[in-house]
Amino acid sequence: MRTSKFTIFIRTTVIVFIIYMMLAWAWNSMTNTNFWKPSEMAISAVLTVLLFGGFAWAITNFGMGLIYGRSQQYDAYRRGGGDPYFDSLPWPLNPDSRQVRETGMAEPRTSFVPPASWKFQCPVCGARQPTRICVCWNCDYGSNGDSSEYFQKFGNSKPPEISEQDWAEIRSRHDA
């Protein structure tokens, strides 16, 4: 599961608050003054994150919608709970792995570690695979020729790494 948007908001606000407090401390110790109480800095941090974060969020979602609005893969990503703004935020704001950002599914803990070149995930258990449709080495998904879980998650679009020929066969099996 992706880290919730609320948790990311809190993490970001705390980090901005800490930065503000350090700036306030630096200013006050340099000038020997006592400006900016922690409560004022906390309110400023919340407002800063809401204003700049909200603005960046709106721009990102609007822009990605313009560019990829008609892409089935983008549509599947959105339906799976993806948000192009939150999913692109770096650690420590968003601590999710690349896999979780892309599909919302964490990789299962297994004794076999898939090679780095396996970039796709089993739609059932989240284990990394060389292609989006194959027999899963972890949960055996696909061994009975049923790929309906894939279609449910990613829609009807052909994954780029699957050949036209294989895709035609997978489609005909699925539609049967």
The footprint of Zn ion (CB under 5 A) covers 122, 124-125, 127, 136, 138-139, 141
Q: Residue 42 is encoded by which pair of tokens?
A: 């906390």
162 vs 89: CA distance, rounded Å:
30
Which of 88, 80, 122 lies closest to 104 in space, CA to CA? 80
- Residue 159 Cβ vs Zn ion, minimum distance, rounded to whole Å: 16
Nearer to Zn ion among residue 53 and residue 123 (C-beta): 123
- Residue 137 Cβ vs Zn ion, minimum distance, rounded to whole Å: 8
- Residue 127 Cβ vs Zn ion, minimum distance, rounded to whole Å: 5
Nearer to Zn ion among residue 122 and residue 170 (C-beta): 122
- Residue 17 Cβ vs Zn ion, minimum distance, rounded to whole Å: 41
Residue the block writes with tokens 């939150």: 86
Cβ(145)–Cβ(173) under 8 Å? yes
DSSP state, residue 51? I
Nearer to Zn ion among residue 89 and residue 134 (C-beta): 134
